[in-house]
Amino acid sequence: MKRRELLQAGASIAVLPALAQAQDKYPSKTITWICPYAAGGNADSRSRQVAKAMGTILGQSIIIDNKAGAGGNIGTEAIARGKPDGYTIGMGNFAPLAVNHALFKKLNFDPFNDIVPIGLIEKGPLILMVRNDSPYKSVKDIVAAAKANPGKLSYASGGIGGSHHLSGALLEHAAGVDMIHAPYKSGSAGATDLMGGQVNMMFEQMYSAMPAIKGGRLRALAITSKTRSPLLPDLPTMAEQGYGEVEVQNWQGLVGPKGMPADLVKLLNAALNKALQDPEVKEKILSQGNEMGGGTPEQFAALIKAEAPRWGKVVRDAKIEPE
């Protein structure tokens, strides 16, 4: 598998000079990278890290333009409405590309036709966690308590329709239990109330959960990835706990507006793949327990196509509506 990844990376690097000749006038000016979320969050920091590395590869500056709001819809719409000349690109995230089509009654962009996938940057699992003094020592303990007390146990999230929320909704459905969803304005706000005892549990992004887990303030019960994480090798997966349906990866990648020429998409994809091999970028992704992205535009498009109906069904079955 490692050999195949190296070959793919080598192929991406090798194709850059040829594509650069085909696009000898690109890039001739600063590129704008739209991030659909606020400054300081993971989408923003990853955008800046990858954009910096890609800018060096392409020989041109890439600036970050944060357009947050509406669950990522505002920024994603801005990407979709950009000129397809390669000077407007941006971060394509899990929620606006695979969830919001079912969550919102109306979107001002079509995530399947107005957005061009360029390449996957990363995937990241979530961790189900409780307070360190919680009586719940396993997922089975939570399910047993939820069945004994319908509508009593609560789980926090960073907002309606996000990966925190959908992970909880999946557990409710898989276990046949009824719990209270407590949405917050951010994942960190939900985690703060979890530590304060206001809620019983939370599915949190691994990179955000790790400090509190390592510090002994929160107890990890399971991870939503298919396999265990090398950073927490003793932590079982949700499947090992009996709930394989609760497999969730929060992903994000580089996208552009509809109409971008194929050779330009290939050039940007090659630059992205090379940027993901940058030691600093790679270390930041892997140190958070995330899975490296990369690959072709077609592979990223296939991921979006596979994820969208799955999460659309979860939204409909759980009758989730936006705030």
Give the separation between CA 65 and CA 171, rounded to whole angstroms. Answer: 36
pLDDT for 127 equals: 97
Low pLDDT (below 50) residues in the chain: 1-15, 18-22
Give the separation between CA 275 and CA 281, rounded to whole angstroms. Answer: 7
Pair 285, 63: CB distance under 8 Å: no
- Phi, psi at 65, each rounded to 5°: -120, 105
Measure the CA angle with vertex 204, ends 68 and 129; round to 5°: 160
pLDDT for 186 equals: 84
Residue 73 burial (CB < 10 Å; 0-12/13-18/19+)?
buried
- DSSP per-residue letters across 185-219: SSHHHHHHHHHHTSSSEEEEEHHHHHHHHHTTSEE
Tell me how far the alpha carbon of residue 61 is from its chain's centroid: 25
Neighbouring residues of 302: CB distance < 8 A, sequence distance ≥ 6: none
Beta pairing partners, 31: 62
Handedness of CA 196, 199, 201, 207 (dihedral sign): negative
Give the separation between CA 95 and CA 169, rounded to whole angstroms. Answer: 15
pLDDT for 16 equals: 52
Helix, strand, coil abundance in the chain, percent, nearest 5: 45, 20, 35
Give the separation between CA 193 and CA 189, rounded to whole angstroms. Answer: 7
Beta pairing partners, 64: 33
Q: What is the pLDDT of residues 129-152, one digit of tens each?
A: 999 999 999 999 999 999 999 999
Give the separation between CA 156 and CA 26, rounded to whole angstroms. Answer: 46
Q: Which of 156, 169, 171, 161 is nearest to 209 (CA)?
A: 156
pLDDT for 188 equals: 86
Question: Helix 262-275 to helix 2-22 angle, to the nearest 10 degrees?
Answer: 130
Tokens of 225: 């990835």
Q: Strands of the chain (E only): list them.
A: 31-35, 62-66, 88-93, 115-131, 154-157, 180-183, 201-205, 218-223, 249-257, 291-294
Three-state helix/strand/coil letters over 251-285: EEEEEEECCCCHHHHHHHHHHHHHHCCCHHHHHHH
Domains of the chain, first to last: 2-123+251-317 (3.40.190.150), 125-223 (3.40.190.10)
